[in-house]
């Protein structure tokens, strides 16, 4: 008889006994139909690859100009960090702190936590602090709101188009690509598999 584990449904709180799932399979709650467990094929490898790609995109998005504005012969380059500094300079400290955390700190922390947890598991190792790091990752994910910031940038570009010539920089394309990469990394991550592998080495 295959090994079974107890899983509490996140939607209706029904306690279910679920058998070990094959790769690509899902288990649904018999009462409400909510997702109990799923086995993403090559979850660790796929999520780790997306995380590494995300780190490269994040570095490019922060190292190069986001966009350049040409007005009356003057060119002004803008980066993510300079936008935050401008908010602080205009005494918008709360908004500046919110933009800093949701567009720089939270995405970077999410990527670093993913790398710190998945890389050791990929090579069959366990490092101290993996359990609190993975718990923190689940909390940080909801604070990464780069898509909201990108929408705000696009709205600003439309409004400024008549006042100045706007030249998108390489950072804005990296930033735009980073959003679906992080979404794909979250979708490919199998939390149950991570907990199982951490537990085997606890």
Q: Average pLDDT for residues 99-119, to the nearest whole number?
A: 90
| pLDDT tens-digit map of 30-79 | 888 887 777 777 889 999 999 999 999 999 988 888 777 776 667 677 77
| pLDDT tens-digit map of 63-73 | 888 777 776 66
Q: Residue 133 corresponds to which tokens in the numbers above?
A: 């790091």
Query: What's the pLDDT at 47?
Result: 94
Query: Are 3 and 74 found together in one domain?
Result: no
How far, in Å, are 12, 63, 118, 144, 178 from residue 186 at the CA level? 23, 25, 13, 12, 12
Domains in the chain: how many in total? 2
Query: Are 32 and 47 found together in one domain?
Result: no
**Does 1 have pLDDT greater than 60?**
no
| pLDDT tens-digit map of 16-33 | 888 777 777 778 888 888
Give the residue with greater pLDDT, 138 vs 47: 47
Query: Are 7 and 61 found together in one domain?
Result: no
* Pairing outcome for strands 165-168 and 67-71: antiparallel
d(CA 131, CA 57): 27
Query: Are 69 and 95 found together in one domain?
Result: yes
Query: Are 87 and 128 found together in one domain?
Result: yes
Query: Are 193 and 94 found together in one domain?
Result: yes
Query: Taking every pair of C-alpha atoms in the chain, what is the biggest distance, in angstroms?
Result: 77
Phi and psi dihedrals of 152, rounded to 5?
-60, -40
Query: Are 50 and 79 found together in one domain?
Result: yes
Query: What's the pLDDT at 164?
Result: 63
Query: Are 122 and 28 found together in one domain?
Result: no
Query: Are 87 and 131 found together in one domain?
Result: yes
Query: Are 8 and 105 found together in one domain?
Result: no
Q: Residue 153 corresponds to which tokens in the numbers above?
A: 């940038």
Sequence-ordered alpha helix ranges (H) in the chain: 43-63, 80-89, 93-100, 106-122, 130-140, 146-160, 170-188, 191-200
Query: Are 104 and 6 found together in one domain?
Result: no
Whole-number mean pLDDT of the chain?
Answer: 82
Query: What's the pLDDT at 202?
Result: 45
Could you list the residue range(s) of the whole structural domain that residue 17 is in?
A: 1-39
Query: Are 184 and 110 found together in one domain?
Result: yes
The model's pTM is 0.76
């Amino acid at each position: 008889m295959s090994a079974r584990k107890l899983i509490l449904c996140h939607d209706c709180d029904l306690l279910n006994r679920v058998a070990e799932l094959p790769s690509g399979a899902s288990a649904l709650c018999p009462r409400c139909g909510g997702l109990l467990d799923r086995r993403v094929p090559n979850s660790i490898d796929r999520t780790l690859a997306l995380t590494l790609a995300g780190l490269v995109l994040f570095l490019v998005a922060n190292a190069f100009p986001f966009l350049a504005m040409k007005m009356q012969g003057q060119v002004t380059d803008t980066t993510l960090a300079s936008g935050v500094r401008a908010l602080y300079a205009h005494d918008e400290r709360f908004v500046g702190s919110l933009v800093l955390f949701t567009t720089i700190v939270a995405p970077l922390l999410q990527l670093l936590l993913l790398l710190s947890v998945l890389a050791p598991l990929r090579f069959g190792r366990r490092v101290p602090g993996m359990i609190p790091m993975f718990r923190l990752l689940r909390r940080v994910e909801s604070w990464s709101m780069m898509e909201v910031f990108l929408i705000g940038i696009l709205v600003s570009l439309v409004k400024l188009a008549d006042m100045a010539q706007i030249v998108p920089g390489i950072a804005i394309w990296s930033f735009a690509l980073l959003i679906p990469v992080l979404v794909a990394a979250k979708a490919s991550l199998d939390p149950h598999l991570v907990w199982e592998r951490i537990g085997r080495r606890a």
